Structure 1
Amino acid sequence: MEPVTDGKYKCAKCGYVYDPGKGDSKHGIEPGTRFEDLPKNWKCPRCRKDKDMFRPV
């Protein structure tokens, strides 16, 4: 069962939180983009770790 989340995901390495309500404008990710819909090659904007380092918060 998936944990209850508001769509935010936190990087286990540096603590950066991806908020789908804000997106990632520096990397062309529009607000409203779910974490699951980010490109496979998207990386943490802070520490450059892959998506698999993120956990729901």
Structure 2
Amino acid sequence: MKVYVCPACGLVYDEAAGLPEHGIPAGTPWAQVPASWRCPECNVGKQDFVPMDR
């Protein structure tokens, strides 16, 4: 599973963990997160998140 990070605020989206508190269940691949989804911390669009090396 991959990890993505918001370049503006540093919020981490880990596919294994999801963001259940924001409606994205654990195990949700990034490709299945809706294109309209925005960072819950700073409102940056999904398209701006970048892959992060573990």
Q: Structures share a fold, TM > 0.5?
A: yes
SS in 2 for 1:47: coil
**TM-score in terms of structure 2 length:** 0.83
Report the equivalent of 1:34: 29
Aligned residues: 52
Structure 2: tracts of 5 or more residues without a match: none
1:38-53 correspondence to structure 2 within 5 Å: 38-53=33-48
Q: Percent of aligned pairs with the same residue?
A: 40
Q: Output the aligned Cα RMSD.
A: 1.1
Unaligned regions of 5+ residues in structure 1, if any? 1-5
Aligned-partner Cα distance in 2 for 1:52–1:8: 14
Give the aligned residue type for 1:33: T
TM-score, normalised relative to structure 1: 0.80
